[in-house]
A and B are shown apart, each in its own frame.
Chain A
Amino acid sequence: MVKVKLLSHLGRAVGVQETAVDADTVGRLLSTLSKQYGAPFDTHVRMCKVLVNGTNVAFLKDTRTKLADGDEVVLMPPMAGG
């Protein structure tokens, strides 16, 4: 199982801030979550960064990034402050 965290307004939109999913790649994990939570998830996830154990998947293998048991995936909408 992979631990998934949904931050900020993504978490609020789907009503869950933390969950666990059984998936072996980022792509499968996202489609599982999409099926589970539907439109609110799809709307917000388009803008989200996906981090696997703290590293942005854009610098790994994008959706083909492999996931192992116990990995932590964070879906993070853009944010800023100052």
Chain B
Amino acid sequence: MAITFAGYAGRILDVDLGRRTWGLYPVPEATFEQFLGGKALAARLLWDLIEPGIDALSPENVMVFTTGPLTGSGAPAASRFNCSTKNVLTGGIVSSNCGGDFGLHLKRAGYDGLIVRGRAEVPTWLQIDEHGVRFLDALHLWGLEVEAVQHELPAKAGHVVIGPAGENLVRFAAILSGERVLGRGGVGAVMGSKNLKVITASGARRMRFHDPKGFGASLRKWVQTLQKHSITGGQLPRYGTAAMVTGTNATNTLPTRNFQFGNWEHAPDVSGELMAERDLVMNDGCSSCPIRCGRMINHTGRHMKGPEFETVGMFGPNIENRDLRRIYDWNHLCDQLGMDTISLGSTLAAAMELKDRGLMPDLPVAFGNHDAMDALLHDIAWRRGIGDVVAEGSMRMAARYGAPEVAMHSKGMEFAAYEPRAAVGHGLGYATSNRGGCHLNGGYLVFFEALGPVNIDPLTPLAKPALAIFQQNTFEAVAASGGCIFPTYAILPDMPAWAVNPHGASARLFGEVLKLSRKILGGQGRMSPKSLGFHVPLIPHTKSVETLTGIRMRLGSFTAVGERGFTMERLFNLREGLTAEDDALPKRLTDEPQHKDRPDSVVPLKEMLPVYYQVRDWDERGVPRNRLIQKLGMDYAADVVQTLEKDPGAFKARRTQVFAREDGVLREVLAPARKWQQQAEASREALRAAFLRSRAIARADRIRQSLFRVDEVRCQQCGLCAKACPVDAIRWSEGSVAFIEQDKCIRCGECWVACPPHYDAIALDPAQPDQDRTAVAYRVIDEKCERCGICYKKCPVDAIAWQRKEIARIDDALCVACGRCKEVCPPKWAAIVCEPRVVNPQAPTP
């Protein structure tokens, strides 16, 4: 179904790995208008695609990769894509967001999203381009670490890859796209359970803009704002997210020793300032991002990706490690193995606390003692020994040792590196986040309460629910549009008049107004999407989306997209058996004060939750009310809401049953995965050679049936095709489009191979029956061959084998029947003839 909005490719690709089939998934235009894209659209698709109560690691689970309209448009920090699926940690939904370039390339290939169903019978590589999908064998890549796999992939395509942790179904396994990570919720394990090692996407489609001038103007203003702002133009480019180590430490929000404390005397030893001064080579970033918060560091003579704040927090204070360089190593290792550093760090901290209590004596590491960490990380990723237990995540591990209270998680997924007892609204965010203990999905209130430019009492429960909802909806909508949430930190401009300063009565006043924000923001749940029909300069996404797509997107409708996405995910969770009881935090955070002399330094969750439900227009048991569903236009969920209104625990058994059988399901999937790992390890080179040969055969087959032409619109005038042509059949000069002279062209396909995939400017037209070369083959007549090797040297596709003083041999499977060999064979010998083809081109020659 084609859609008329600009900015979109207009198609969702639907791949079934089990059946090895693909097609397009019809999505009505109204759905794009309501959900925009990204995680919101993915949640809507999953609502229809996933049968409630299935196992996350079963073939029935579905992965949805989505982009947003802004992805690839050139808007600041808008190269994001999303992966949503059923969560292996929580049993609810997971959405994971990434700044890698896969989304960009997926869109260039002509798809806004990708649905992956079923389970492949063998390790598989999905290759996506504008012409569709190819299912390639990936056994030769199975068991390899991420960098080694990426080395084997085409450089100019976007890709997502899992490491050994994904293959071994580690519950917090990640997916990598370049150096960027889809980290949370175990999306890597789901991809592993589908025996899917790699997805690559390439294409050269260009984006259509509804109002190019307006879009350009809104972007210029936006970039200027970001570059001037003290956070997006100062802290983030200069120190990266790791600057927050000292900031959270100062505000008692730095998780220390498995969230037992909120600050750590040794925090300066692992600070972003130290990283920037000692090891930073340059700052780095996703494509089209002016902020560039990524770190490129020099470590042991090698330039590598530096850790983010979350990683430093989890691998530093939370396990009491004072050595920043070790964090670099572990960060790098986790990327290679494909693991989420947040969940892993938190699970390790919980394991160390269990060891402290004498419950887990065989753990080789402890708070302050990390010598055995490298080996342990490998053991976790490969599920060996004690690593197999840690690979289950903190909730399952702690329950196994009879101390569930040491697991710092919500719904089953571990918290990020902010201690919420000194930022209680942030704690509410952890409890209500749909994917589990997530800071961003939860609204990131620590920004208002502790780190950002305003003063709002971090310990008061007042106003926090309304503020959390506002933030959650905004972040959700920003993610749906394809943007990164970092530009929204410029939402509070640093104007000295009211930005915080120590003499700032105005700043305090702002804090007081925020406290009353329940009155201001309290009607959010009841507000019509049609209200607030204006743009605000502080959220530039609305104008950009509107000028890009032509969808009327104002403040009201934009936050409604967020509200719709959040409610959709909530309903998905409720349908899977989660209830209001799961909007919870560990007792440590709700009952044990962070400071003994401040009894209020706990998260007053019980006070905040009812208000939160009320402002969201959910009933007191956390079920979205029917009128909210009607307001958001989500009628398809009405029957589920009706059932839940009568009995909010109606679906509870589904989750209990999934948890009861999950270990069996996991072991069943793991067995063949391990067999392939051994098989691949034993004969990787032979497998690789066989793979490359099968690719070459498929390519030759396609070339035999095609005619070649330059697509003038796409040609970037680089001249690579002309240089590659063995018979000078391509006319090209600097600054002009190439042209293939059909009478000279021998159809060897070299121009097609040479044209970069992101140009894809050589078009393949189907050959007429009389031009089809599948039925002919070239053969060397042994008696006539003078063994000169000229045919071998001139063959454009390397299909001829020859050695000095040996007869040349043509490999029928690789030969494209271009006839170049016959042409160059000296006429007096005429040792090469063209004959009807007899061999099966698919069968490898002996």
Contacts and interface: CB of A to CB of B under 8 A. Distances in A.
Do A and B interact? yes
Contact of B453 (A45, A51, A63, A78): A78
Interface string B411-449: 000000000001000000000000000011000100100
Contact of A62 (B422, B486, B503): B503
A67 to B, nearest CB: 13
Interface string B478-502: 0000000110010010101001111
Interface string B215-246: 00000000000000011001110111111101
Contacts of A81: 236, 240-244, 293, 308-310, 486
Interface in A27-82: 27, 30, 45-51, 54, 56-59, 62-63, 74, 76-82
A61 to B, nearest CB: 11
Given A8-B246, A9-B235, A58 B230 contact: no
Interface stretch (B112-120, B247-255, B385-393): B247-255
Nearest to A43: B496
Contacts of B439: 82
Interface residues of A, number: 32
B502 A78 contact: no
A79 B503 contact: no
B440, B503, B508: residue with the most chain A Cβ atoms closer than 10 Å: B503
Contacts of B238: 8-9, 12
B494 A78 contact: yes
B231, B494, B507: residue with the most chain A Cβ atoms closer than 10 Å: B231
Contact of B455 (A11, A58, A82): A58
Contact of B244 (A5, A17, A58, A79): A79
Nearest to B263: A54
A59 B447 contact: no
A76 B251 contact: yes
B54 interface: no
Contacts of B246: 5, 7-8, 76
Nearest to A58: B455
B273 interface: yes
B496 A47 contact: yes
A13 to B, nearest CB: 10
Given A51-B251, A54-B263, A9 B234 contact: yes
B735 to A, nearest CB: 45
A56 B231 CA distance: 19
B263 A47 contact: no
Nearest to B485: A82
A78 to B, nearest CB: 4
Contacts of A57: 502
Given A51-B251, A58-B500, A76-B251, A82 B241 contact: yes
Contacts of B457: 59
B502 A48 contact: yes
A26 B250 CA distance: 16
B502 A30 contact: yes
A5 B250 CA distance: 9
B452 interface: yes
B556 interface: no
Interface string B499-528: 111111001100100000000000000000
Contact of A80 (B452, B499, B501): B452
A78 B230 contact: yes
Contacts of B500: 47-49, 58, 78
B451 interface: yes
A4 B447 CA distance: 23
A8 B235 contact: yes
B530 to A, nearest CB: 31
A58 B511 contact: yes
Contacts of A54: 250-252, 263, 422
A80 B250 contact: no
Contacts of A45: 501-502
Interface string A1-20: 00001011101100001000
Contact of B451 (A9, A30, A78): A78
A76 B499 contact: no
Contacts of A51: 250-251
A49 B455 contact: yes
B577 to A, nearest CB: 29
B273 A80 contact: no
A7 B451 contact: no
23 contacts: A7-B243, A9-B234, A12-B273, A46-B499, A46-B501, A47-B230, A47-B496, A48-B501, A49-B500, A58-B455, A59-B455, A76-B246, A77-B230, A78-B451, A79-B235, A79-B243, A80-B235, A80-B244, A81-B241, A81-B309, A81-B310, A81-B486, A82-B241
Interface of A: 5, 7-9, 11-12, 17, 26-27, 30, 45-51, 54, 56-59, 62-63, 74, 76-82
The 5 closest A-B pairs by CB, nearest first: A81-B241, A78-B453, A58-B455, A74-B250, A80-B489
Given A54-B250, A78-B499, A81-B243, 20 more contacts: A5-B246, A7-B246, A8-B239, A8-B247, A27-B503, A48-B502, A50-B502, A54-B251, A54-B263, A54-B422, A56-B455, A58-B511, A76-B251, A77-B234, A78-B453, A79-B235, A79-B451, A80-B447, A80-B451, A82-B486
